[in-house]
Amino acid sequence: MKKYNTKSNVKAKNLSDILWYIVSKGKTSRREIEKDTGFSWGAVSESVSELISRGYVVEEEKESAGVGRTAFALKPNGEEIAAIGVDMNRTEIERMVVGFDGGVKISEKVPFKAKTAEEVLSLIDEACEWGINYCKDKYRVLCVGIAVQGLVDSATGDWKSFTGIKDWKEINIPDRISKNFGVSSYVEHDPKSMLASAAASKRRKNCLLVRADEGIGMAVMQDGKILDDSGRFELGHTVAVYRGRKCVCGRKGCLEAYSSVKAMSEIAEAGEEELFSNPEKYSEVINSSATLAGIAISNQMTAFAPEKVIFTGKAFGIKGYTERISEVINEISDGQCEVGITVERDLSAAYGSALSAIGKVIKNNEI
Helix H or strand E segment including 174: helix 173-181
Q: Check residues 7 and 183 and name the one with the higher pLDDT.
A: 183
- Count of the separate structural domains present in the chain: 3
**Could you report the per-residue pLDDT of 112-164, keeping only the tens digit for each?**
989 999 999 999 999 999 999 999 999 999 999 999 988 888 888 899 888 77
Q: With respect to residue 40, please indicate whether it lies within any of the assigned structural domains.
A: yes
Q: With respect to residue 1, please indicate whether it lies within any of the assigned structural domains.
A: no
CATH number at residue 27: 1.10.10.10
324 in the same domain as 248? yes
Q: What is the pLDDT of residue 240?
A: 95
pLDDT band at 39 (very low <50, low <70, confident <90, very high): very high
Q: With respect to residue 103, please indicate whether it lies within any of the assigned structural domains.
A: yes
Helices marked H in 188-255: 190-201
- Is-contact 83 193, C-beta < 8 A? no
288 in the same domain as 241? yes
Mean pLDDT of the chain: 89
Between helix 30-37 and helix 41-54 the angle, nearest 10°, is 130
- Is-contact 109 94, C-beta < 8 A? yes
275 in the same domain as 223? yes
- Is-contact 311 210, C-beta < 8 A? yes
Q: Is the pLDDT of residue 345 over 90?
A: no
Helix H or strand E segment including 357: helix 349-363
Q: Is the pLDDT of residue 200 over 80?
A: no
Interatomic CA distance for residues 174 and 102, integer angstroms: 22
Q: Check residues 6 and 361 and name the one with the higher pLDDT.
A: 361
Q: What is the pLDDT of residue 5?
A: 57
Interatomic CA distance for residues 287 and 245, integer angstroms: 17
Q: How far is CA 354 from CA 99, 101, 166, in A?
A: 9, 11, 28
Q: What is the pLDDT of residue 248?
A: 83
Mean pLDDT computed over 335-347? 76
Q: Which of 343, 340, 307 is nearest to 322 (CA)?
A: 343
pLDDT band at 9 (very low <50, low <70, confident <90, very high): confident
CATH number at residue 127: 3.30.420.40
| Strand pairing report for 216-222 and 225-226 | antiparallel
Domain that holds residue 129: 81-195+349-363
208 in the same domain as 156? no
129 in the same domain as 178? yes
Q: Which of 19, 332, 313, 341 is nearest to 194 (CA)?
A: 313
Q: Is the pLDDT of residue 1 over 60?
A: no
262 in the same domain as 336? yes
Which class for 338: exposed (0-12), middle (13-18), buried (19 or more C-beta within 10 A)? exposed
Residue type, 193: S
Residue 115, CB-side half-sphere exposure with 13 Å CA sphere:
0
The angle formed by the CA atoms of residues 355, 22 and 230, to the nearest 5 degrees, is 35
SS3 265: helix
**Could you report the per-residue pLDDT of 55-88, keeping only the tens digit for each?**
999 998 765 555 555 567 999 999 999 999 999 9
Q: Which long-range contacts (CB under 8 A, 24 or more apart) does 181-185 make?
A: 181/128, 181/129, 181/132, 181/144, 183/84, 183/128, 183/132, 183/141, 183/143, 183/144, 184/142, 184/143, 184/144, 184/357, 184/361, 184/366, 185/143, 185/144, 185/145, 185/146, 185/157, 185/357
Interatomic CA distance for residues 63 and 252, integer angstroms: 63
